[in-house]
Amino acid sequence: MNAATWKEKLSAIRDSFSVSIAQKPAGNPGALELHYLGRKGELALLLRDLKDIPLEERKELGALGNTAKQEMEAKLSELKGAAAGAAGPAAKTDLDLTLPGWPFPKGSLHPLTHVMNRLAEGFLKLGFTMADGQLIEDDYHNFEALNFPPFHPARDMQDTFYVDAKDQLGKPMLLRTHTSPVQIRSMEKQDPPLRVFHTGRVFRSEAVDASHSFAFHQIEGLYVDKGVSMADLKWTADAFMKDLFGSAVKTRFNPSYFPFVEPGAEVDMSCIFCKGGANAAERCPVCKGTGWLELMGAGMVHPNVLKGCKYDPEKWSGFAFGGGIERFAMLLYGISDMRMLYENDLRVLKQVQ
């Protein structure tokens, strides 16, 4: 090949490269690069032909070839930049990773759930296990097995919702009025000794006011073993109150009546607001100046209840207690009206998290 032919070939390659670049502004720059500048590309092969050209002409042609190569490389890198820009937001984007995160409101547990979880933690620590119960009960488990015979006046203490279904004895089923049926169901399921607690919803046909609801929550505890006494009940009630309200609180027992315990008691706790009356300059509105708050019912399991569950009362004894969760929540969070716990007003819920 002579120098003139070589120059013509170089000029043809440059022209065809210019046409290709113009036709594919955002095309595949890699393919063009390979076609013209690759090891077996058109320009590379032409440059290799220089070896056949006489030395004195070769220098000039070599310089022309190198200039053409540099121009092509410059055009190709321009094309690569344009292709990257067209590839989308990853290459060119408005995303600003330094901006703060999108505000996402975090949910939290309802105060009643929170209190039930705290109680559960406390009783699990004392060696109690969590027992199951059911919201729709039969007359036997809610009343009769708990020593409330039919027409017993104590039934009047718990105004009952009946549902449109009958139990195996043909008696109407009901919404449980307290968590005490869990005592019976636990003893039916398990031989003594046993130590269980349960938290859950109960229902009474009552007018709603600041301290009463028709659906509320209770905790129930039951411990049956050999030689269990009132002293064990007093220690457990005291430990339970201290765990929830702090080690400074005191507990006291007042005689009371529930058909399923004998003796029965109301458990009072020293008022956490006026510190048991000690700090009350005026009459405390929460404990009404008495220095004590009534918190739970409790007592030693009645022998009739043990017998009904096939536990021998000569061999086994036990204590049981039950209290209202709403009452605990109101005291813990300083809520004066129980209805606030059911309205789900965020202004209240956010204060008691």
- For ligand FA5, the binding residues (CB under 6 A) are 178, 180, 204, 206, 212-213, 216, 218, 258, 261, 297-299, 320-324, 326-327
- Tell me how far apart the alpha carbons of residues 234 and 301 are, in angstroms, rounded to a whole number: 14
Nearer to ligand FA5, 46 or 194 (CB): 194
If the CB atoms of residues 75 and 141 are measured against ligand FA5, the closer one turns out to be: 141
Helices 55-86 and 29-37 cross at an angle (nearest 10°) of 170
Shortest distance, CB of residue 167 to ligand FA5, whole angstroms?
Answer: 20
Query: Interior CA angle at 58 toward 56 and 59, to 5°?
Result: 80
Report the residue number, 65 or 318, with the smaller CB distance to ligand FA5.
318
How many Å from the N-terminal Cα to the C-terminal Cα in the chain?
90
* Shortest distance in whole angstroms from residue 319 CB to ligand FA5: 8
- Listed in sequence order, the DSSP H helices in the chain are 3-23, 29-37, 42-48, 55-86, 111-125, 139-142, 181-189, 230-245, 303-308, 325-333, 346-349
Smallest gap, in angstroms, from Cβ of residue 324 to ligand FA5? 2
Cis-peptide, bond into residue 193, ω within 30° of zero: yes
Whichever of 10 and 267 has its CB closer to ligand FA5, that residue is 267
- Cα 201 to chain centroid, rounded: 20
Q: Which is nearer to ligand FA5, 65 or 200 (CB)?
A: 200
For ligand FA5, the closer CB: 76 or 300? 300
Q: Report in angstroms how near the CB of residue 287 gets to ligand FA5 at its nearest.
A: 15
Residue 146 contacts residue 260 (beta carbons within 8 Å): yes
- Shortest Å distance, C-beta 212 to ligand FA5: 4
CB of 270 to ligand FA5, least distance (A): 17
User: C-beta of 158: minimal distance to ligand FA5 in Å?
Assistant: 6
CB-CB contact of 200 with 133 (8 Å)? yes
Decide whether 221 or 276 has the Cβ nearer to ligand FA5.
221
* Beta carbons within 10 angstroms of residue 97's beta carbon: 4
Q: Which two tokens stand for residue 123?
A: 């009783």
Secondary structure (DSSP) of 301-341: EPHHHHHHTT--TTT-EEEEEEEEHHHHHHHHHT-S-GGGG
Instruction: Identify the CA nearest to 305 among candidates 76, 145, 89.
Output: 145
In the complex, least distance from residue 95 CB atom to ligand FA5, rounded to whole angstroms? 54
Residue number of the CB closest to ligand FA5 reads 324
Identity of the residue, 184 or 261, whose beta carbon is nearer to ligand FA5 in the bound complex: 261
Specify the 3-state DSSP secondary structure of 89: coil
Residues 6 or more apart in contact with residue 306 via CB below 8 angstroms? 187, 224, 312, 313, 316, 317, 318
